[in-house]
Amino acid sequence: MTTQLTYGMVGGGQGAFIGAVHRMAVALDNKARLVAGALSSTPERARASARDLGLAPDRSYGSWKEMLEGELKRPSSDRIDFVSIVTPNDTHFEVARAFAAAGISVVCDKPLVHTSAQASELVQTVAKSGVVFAVTYNYSGYPLVKHAASLVRAGKLGTIRKVFVEYHQGWLATPLESGGQKQADWRTDPARSGAAGAVGDIGTHAENLVATITGLEMESLCADLTTFVPGRRLDDDAAILIRYKGGAKGTLTCSQVCVGEENNLSIRVYGTEGMISWRQEEPNSLLFQPRDGVRQVFTRSGPGVGPEAGRATRLPGGHPEAFIEAFANIYRGAIDAIAAKKAGAKPEGLATEFPTVRDGARGVHFIERVVESARKGAVWTDAKFTG
């Protein structure tokens, strides 16, 4: 057996949602185990959560700073190999920077940080320390997303002309936050969520999905943001027109007020030679159609699906895989890279089958440009990312 890595977690205690998802994602492949945690911003709740998860008392920390100090005091052979940051967005920056600077690899939830300046600093910190840094744009972990990207790279779509990407939810169609729902509360609070609401929470997933599959780079965008629910302080809906380098055009819409929708993330890409269409809620099939050919439906582990998807799948065809497995693929990629680094591989030699700090930085830049366009009245705004 390759030795299991160990990791700590910041956030994700009692009452949180995404922390448990991260832990299941790691558990699935058994390549790392949770040994330390600063699981809540409230020390008591942090410790209670650590007990729930069976952490040793001496690695149950009251804050991320205690955890960083505590782990650094341990011999490096008995120190966490990486930290998972699953807190609301506003704390990502200082936590991630501190761990990265201290030489501990990081897996961080998205959006990465609040500002491009923070993102730049983080990119530099990572470059300097050489740690592995993954951002959990989890939808990029789906096998058929990887296959879609490989079809694009193989030229099966020709030159891309049009991209339609959507992420539509309905759970914030009413002012849930005023009733104290925890998930709604921080996501609609600018102090914790950042400059954008829906755009930051789900629009960035859409941005990342386009980049992952197509590799297209934005040139400019025109964003119309709306806050439909009275009293809400951030956008809960966005419609964005995008122009890409090379002439392709895109439409990105995201909304949290589309009643009846759950996590309806979908992408369609049309090129001169073919098209693809994929939908997150039914992730085990991918539609592909060559320009003058018959419609084809790739199934996750079925005929014609290449090694990129193959490496990201755990079950035979027809045994559906879903969200957790995609999430686990991000972790597996990061853990493999961390293990390789530990075993002496050079950073440039590391496999990067996961979104990196640079992807995270580009997401932050995207949010900023969208907010800027909207603030000026939904006008065309430069969106080139040179980070």
Residues 291-310 that bind a copy of itself (CB under 8 A): 291-299, 301-304
- Residue 257 near a copy of itself by CB under 8 A: yes
- Residue 289 near a copy of itself by CB under 8 A: yes
- Residue 94 near a copy of itself by CB under 8 A: no
Which span sits near a copy of itself by CB under 8 A: 76-84, 86-94, 280-288, 340-348?
Answer: 280-288
Which span sits near a copy of itself by CB under 8 A: 13-21, 67-75, 98-106, 341-349?
Answer: 13-21
- Residue 222 near a copy of itself by CB under 8 A: yes
CA distances from 223 to 199, 250, 362, 364 (A): 10, 12, 17, 15
- Residue 264 near a copy of itself by CB under 8 A: yes
Minimum gap (Å) between residue 277 Cβ and a copy of itself: 8
Near a copy of itself in 318-347, by CB under 8 A: 318-325
Report the residue from 117, 315, 345, 351 that binds a copy of itself according to the rule CB under 8 A: 315
Which position has the token pair 């990105």? 252
Nearer to a copy of itself among residue 85 and residue 225 (C-beta): 225
What sign does the dihedral 201-138-333-82 (CA atoms) show? positive
- Residue 101 near a copy of itself by CB under 8 A: no
Pairing of strands 249-255, 105-108: unpaired
Q: In what order do the strands lie in the sheet with 237-244?
A: 285-290, 274-279, 264-271, 160-168, 249-255, 237-244, 218-226, 380-382
- Residue 208 near a copy of itself by CB under 8 A: no
- Residue 231 near a copy of itself by CB under 8 A: no
- Residue 145 near a copy of itself by CB under 8 A: no
- Residue 351 near a copy of itself by CB under 8 A: no
Report the residue from 24, 98, 102, 127 that binds a copy of itself according to the rule CB under 8 A: 24
CA distances from 91 to 10, 39, 174, 193, 281 (A): 10, 13, 27, 10, 30
Rounded Cα–Cα distance for residues 246 and 28 (Å): 41
Minimum gap (Å) between residue 2 Cβ and a copy of itself: 9
Near a copy of itself in 31-70, by CB under 8 A: 51-54
294: which residues sit within 8 A by CB, 6+ positions away?
A: none
- Residue 98 near a copy of itself by CB under 8 A: no
Rounded Cα–Cα distance for residues 276 and 311 (Å): 21
- Residue 150 near a copy of itself by CB under 8 A: no
Near a copy of itself in 160-189, by CB under 8 A: 161-162, 164, 166, 169-171, 173-174
Which pairs from 331-334 meet CB under 8 Å and 24+ separation? 331/22, 331/25, 331/26, 331/29, 331/31, 331/32, 331/107, 331/134, 332/29, 332/31, 333/134, 333/141, 334/82, 334/105, 334/107, 334/132, 334/134
β-partners of residue 42 are: none
Name the DSSP letter for residue 322: -
Nearer to a copy of itself among residue 212 and residue 253 (C-beta): 253
Nearer to a copy of itself among residue 71 and residue 261 (C-beta): 261
Report the residue from 253, 313, 356, 373 that binds a copy of itself according to the rule CB under 8 A: 253
Which span sits near a copy of itself by CB under 8 A: 6-14, 100-108, 145-153, 239-247?
Answer: 239-247
- Residue 260 near a copy of itself by CB under 8 A: yes
What 3-state class would DSSP assign to 43? helix
Structural contact between residues 185 and 90, judged by C-beta atoms closer than 8 angstroms? no
* Burial letters 77-92, b for 16+ CB under 10 A, else e: eebbbbbbbbbbbbbb
